[in-house]
C-alpha cells in the first residue's frame, strides 16, 4: 500500500482531541507549528475550549531541529501555568521532536516531580493512527497520573478493585466518532438504567480529572468498540484486576440494545455487582415499548409511501458503525446492506474477526466487506457497482459527491465532514436507532420537491 486517498482518520497527534474531551485537561504540543491546526481542521468545529489555536505548542523551527527543543518545551510548560488554568496537562510530541530525539519524558518528569499534574505521550505522526494513539493516551494518563494519585492516598492498596456498581465506559473515540458525545451520553444512560453507575470519562457529562482518578475503583470495564480500546481494558485488567465486558459494535435499535443490556447485566452479576433483575426487566420493557411505538410509525410510512425509497446501503466508516448500522438497517428498517467498507485501519490481528462479524450479519446472504484505509478505492468500487435501485450511501464528507453522482441518498456520518453539525445526536441505543431512522428519511424526503 503506497498511498492513502481521502483519509478517514488522522495521525497519532490527533489524540489531542481525546485530551480536549476531558474537562479540565489541556494538551501541550511539542511539535511542528501546523500540527494542532491540522488536527482541529480535520475534526472541524471540535477544538473545544483547549484545542486548536488554544493549545500551547513549541512550534518547532529550524533552531529546534538543529539544537533540540527540550529547553523550549520546558519554557512553554513553565509559562503555561501563568496563562491557562488546568487540572491536567498532557504533552504530546510530533514527528520533529521524535526524529531529532528530544527527551520529552525527562522534561515532563521534572514538572511531575514538583507535584504538577502532567503526563506525556510520544505521538509522532509516523508512529500510528489517532485511534491507536487514543489507546496509548488513556493508558498514559492512568499510568503516569491516576496511579500516582492513588498511591498518594494513604492506607489503600492501589491494586484492589472495589466490588460494586461502578464501571468505566470506553466506547467512541472523541472526534473520530462524530457522534461521540451523544453516543457516550446514551450508553451511560442505558447502563444507569439497569442500575450501574458510570465513569463516562469524556465529554460534558464527565466529572473530568476527578472522575479519571476513580478509574481503579470501578468493578469492571465496559468496552463498546470493534477494536479500538482493547489494549486499554486489557491494561486495566492486568493493572487493577478489573475484568472487562466487550460488545464489538454499536448496539443500535431494539434487538441489539436489549441484547447489550442483558449481556452487561449477566456480566455484572458474575462480578458481584448486585443488580436487580426486576429493575432490568422494567427498564427494557419501558424502553422497548417506546421504541416499537415509533417503529410502527416507520412501518406505516414504509408500506404506504407512494414514491421511491432507498432499498440498499453502502457504509464507509469506522468498524462499529459499519457493523452496527448494517445489522440495524437489515433487521429493523428493511434496508439491505450491500458492499461495506471499514476505513479506520484496524490492526492486522482483528481483520478476520471484523470481516466475519459483517459477513455473518444475515443468515440468507453474505455481505461483502472491504477493510482498507485507502477510501479512494472504496469510492472506485462503489462507482463501478450498479444495482438498478435507489441506494443510500453513509460516509464522510468525502462521499457526498459520489452519492450525488450515483443518484443515491446520502447520510454524512464519518470524519472528515463539513456536511453536518453534530451536537448530541446519537445512533446507539433505542433512541439512537430512532434518530438514525429520522436522519435517513429526513434526507430522503427532502429530495421530493
Partner 1 sequence: MSKIDLRSPEVEIREIRLNSITGFAGSASGLVDCARCGGLGDRKRAFTQCMSCSTSKAICTVSLIQDIAVISHGPLGCGARFHEYAFTYQVNGAKRGVPNPKQIRVFSSDMGEEDTIYGGAEKLRTAIREVYERVHPRAIFIVTTCASGIIGDDVEGVSNEAQEELGIPVSAIFCEGFRSRIWTTGFDAGYHGIVRKLVRPSEEKIPNLVNIVNFWGSDIFSKWFQALGLVPNYLTPYATLESIADAAKAVVSVQICPTLGSYMGAAIEQTCGVPELTEAPPYGIPQTDRWFRALGKATGKEAEAERFIEKERAEWLPRFEELKKSLEGKTAYVTAGAAHGHAMLAILKEYGMNTLGAGIFHHDSVYDNPSDSLDVLKTTIGDYGDVGNYTVCNRQEYELVNLLNRLKPDIFVARHGGIVRWGARLGIPALLVEDEHYGMGYEGLVRYGRRLLNTIENVEFIKNFSRHAKIPYSEKWLTSDPYTFLSEDGNGGH
Compute the half-sphere exposure of residue 179: CA atoms within 13 Å on the CB side of its CA: 24
151: left (phi over 0), alpha (psi -120 to 50) or beta: alpha
Residues 8-27 binding partner 1 (CB under 8 A) are 9-14, 26
Does 46 participate in binding partner 1 (rule CB under 8 A)? no
Of 103 and 288, nearer to partner 1 (C-beta) is: 103
Strand partners, 314: 393
3-state secondary structure labels for all residues of 206-237: CCCHHHHCCHHHCCEEEEECCCCCHHHHHHHH
Binding residue for partner 1, selected from 18, 19, 46, 56, defined by CB under 8 A: 56
Q: Which distant-in-sequence residues (6+ apart) come within 8 Å of 177 by Cβ? A: 183, 318, 320, 321
**How big is the chain by its Cα radius of gyration, in Å?**
23
Q: Which residues pair with 445 in a beta bridge?
A: none
Is position 278 an interface residue for partner 1 (rule: CB under 8 A)?
no
Nearer to partner 1, 62 or 157 (CB): 62
Per CB under 8 A, 117 contacts partner 1: no
In this structure, the strands spanning 409-412 and 391-395 are parallel
Stretch that binds partner 1, among 118-126, 151-159, 275-283, 439-447 (CB under 8 A): 118-126
Q: Which of residues 403-422 bind partner 1 (CB under 8 A)?
A: 416-418
Choose between 277 and 385: whose C-beta lies nearer to partner 1: 385
- Among positions 345-404, residues that touch partner 1 (CB under 8 A) are 373, 376, 379-380, 396-398, 400-402
Contacts of 352 (CB under 8 A, 6+ apart): none
57-96: which residues touch partner 1 (CB under 8 A)? Answer: 57-62, 64-65, 75-76, 79-80, 82-86, 94-96
Using the rule CB under 8 A, which residue among 36, 174, 251, 422 binds partner 1? 36
Nearest distance from C-beta of residue 100 to partner 1, angstroms: 7
HEC states along 88-152? EEEEEECHHHHHHCCCHHHHHHHHHHCCCCEEEEECCCCCCEHHHHHHHHHHHHHHHHHHHHHHH
Q: Which residue in 140, 109, 120, 118 sits closest to 24, CA to CA?
A: 118
The residues near 260 (Cβ < 8 Å, ≥ 6 apart) are 190, 224, 247, 251
CA–CA gap between residue 378 and residue 392 (Å, rounded): 15
Alpha carbons 131 and 126: distance in angstroms, whole number? 13
321 binds partner 1 (CB under 8 A): no
CB closer to partner 1, 366 vs 401: 401
Nearer to partner 1, 8 or 426 (CB): 8
Q: Does 302 bind partner 1 (CB under 8 A)?
A: no
Q: Does 124 bind partner 1 (CB under 8 A)?
A: yes
- Which one among 17, 18, 50, 318 touches partner 1, defined by CB under 8 A? 50
Kindly tell me which residue out of 2, 278, 303, 423 binds partner 1, with binding defined by CB under 8 A: 2
Q: Which residue's CB is nearer to partner 1, number 77 or number 179?
A: 77
Q: Which of 22, 39, 167, 342 binds partner 1 (CB under 8 A)?
A: 39
- Shortest Å, Cβ 134 to partner 1: 14
Among 40, 206, 225, 326, binds partner 1 (CB under 8 A): 40
By CB under 8 A, which span of 34-42, 165-173, 300-308, 335-343 interacts with partner 1?
Answer: 34-42
Distance separating alpha carbons of residues 309 and 71, to the nearest angstrom? 62
Confirm or reject binding of residue 176 to partner 1 (CB under 8 A). no
Q: How far is the CB of 385 from partner 1 (least distance, A)?
A: 17
229 binds partner 1 (CB under 8 A): no
Q: Shortest distance, CB of residue 211 to partner 1, whole angstroms? A: 18
Ramachandran region, residue 12 (left: φ > 0; alpha: ψ -120 to 50; beta: rest): alpha
The 3-state DSSP class for residue 40 equals helix
DSSP string, 144-209: IIIHHHHHHSTT--TTPPPPSSEEEEE-SPBTTBTTHHHHHHHHHHHHHHTT-EEE--SSTTS-TH
Q: How many residues sit in the footprint of partner 1 (CB under 8 A)? A: 77
Q: How far apart are CA 69 and CA 344, in angstroms?
A: 33
Q: Which is nearer to partner 1, 41 or 289 (CB)?
A: 41
- Residue in 18, 46, 89, 129 binding partner 1, rule: CB under 8 A: 129
Which of residues 4 and 302 has its CB atom nearest to partner 1 in the complex? 4
Q: Does residue 38 belong to the site contacting partner 1 (CB under 8 A)?
A: yes
Amino acid at each position: 500500500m503506497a498511498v492513502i486517498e481521502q483519509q478517514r482518520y488522522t495521525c497519532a497527534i490527533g489524540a489531542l482531541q481525546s485530551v480536549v474531551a476531558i474537562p479540565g485537561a489541556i494538551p501541550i504540543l511539542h511539535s511542528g507549528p501546523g500540527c494542532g491546526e491540522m488536527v482541529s481542521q480535520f475534526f472541524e468545529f471540535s477544538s473545544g475550549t483547549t484545542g486548536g489555536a488554544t493549545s500551547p505548542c513549541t512550534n518547532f523551527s529550524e533552531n529546534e531541529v538543529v539544537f533540540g527543543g527540550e529547553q523550549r518545551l520546558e519554557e512553554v510548560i513553565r509559562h503555561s501555568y501563568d496563562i491557562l488554568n488546568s487540572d491536567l496537562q498532557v504533552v504530546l510530541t510530533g514527528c520533529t521532536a521524535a526524529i531529532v530525539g528530544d527527551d520529552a519524558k525527562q522534561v515532563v518528569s521534572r514538572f511531575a516531580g514538583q507535584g504538577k499534574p502532567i503526563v506525556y505521550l510520544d505521538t509522532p505522526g509516523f508512529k500510528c493512527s489517532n485511534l491507536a494513539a487514543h489507546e496509548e493516551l488513556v493508558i498514559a494518563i492512568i499510568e503516569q497520573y491516576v496511579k500516582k494519585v492513588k498511591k498518594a492516598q494513604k492506607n489503600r492498596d492501589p491494586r484492589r478493585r472495589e466490588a460494586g456498581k461502578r464501571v468505566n465506559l470506553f466506547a467512541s473515540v472523541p472526534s473520530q466518532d462524530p457522534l461521540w458525545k451523544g453516543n457516550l451520553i446514551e450508553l451511560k444512560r442505558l447502563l444507569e438504567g439497569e442500575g450501574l453507575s458510570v465513569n463516562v470519562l469524556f465529554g460534558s457529562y464527565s466529572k473530568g480529572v476527578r472522575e479519571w482518578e476513580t478509574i481503579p475503583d470501578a468493578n469492571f470495564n465496559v468496552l463498546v468498540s470493534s477494536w479500538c480500546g482493547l489494549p486499554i481494558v486489557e491494561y486495566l485488567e492486568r493493572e487493577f484486576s478489573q475484568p472487562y465486558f466487550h460488545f464489538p459494535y454499536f448496539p443500535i435499535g431494539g434487538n441489539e440494545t436489549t441484547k447489550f443490556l442483558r449481556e452487561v447485566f449477566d456480566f455484572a452479576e458474575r462480578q458481584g455487582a448486585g443488580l436487580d433483575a426486576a429493575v432490568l426487566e422494567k427498564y427494557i420493557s419501558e424502553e422497548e415499548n417506546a421504541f416499537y411505538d415509533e417503529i410502527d410509525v416507520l412501518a406505516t410510512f414504509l408500506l404506504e409511501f407512494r414514491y421511491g425509497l432507498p432499498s440498499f446501503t453502502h457504509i464507509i466508516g469506522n468498524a462499529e458503525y459499519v457493523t452496527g448500522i448494517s445489522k440495524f438497517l437489515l433487521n429493523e428498517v428493511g434496508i439491505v446492506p450491500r458492499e461495506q467498507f471499514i476505513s479506520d485501519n484496524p490492526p492486522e490481528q482483528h481483520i478476520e474477526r471484523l470481516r466475519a462479524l459483517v459477513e455473518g450479519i444475515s443468515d440468507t446472504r453474505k455481505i461483502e466487506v472491504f477493510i482498507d484505509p485507502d477510501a479512494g478505492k472504496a469510492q472506485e468500487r462503489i462507482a463501478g457497482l450498479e444495482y438498478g435501485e435507489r441506494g443510500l450511501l453513509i460516509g464522510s464528507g468525502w462521499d457526498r459527491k459520489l452519492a450525488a453522482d450515483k443518484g443515491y441518498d446520502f447520510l454524512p456520518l464519518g470524519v472528515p465532514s463539513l456536511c453536518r453539525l453534530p451536537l448530541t445526536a446519537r445512533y446507539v441505543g433505542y433512541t439512537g436507532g430512532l434518530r438514525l431512522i429520522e436522519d435517513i428519511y429526513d434526507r430522503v424526503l427532502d429530495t421530493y420537491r
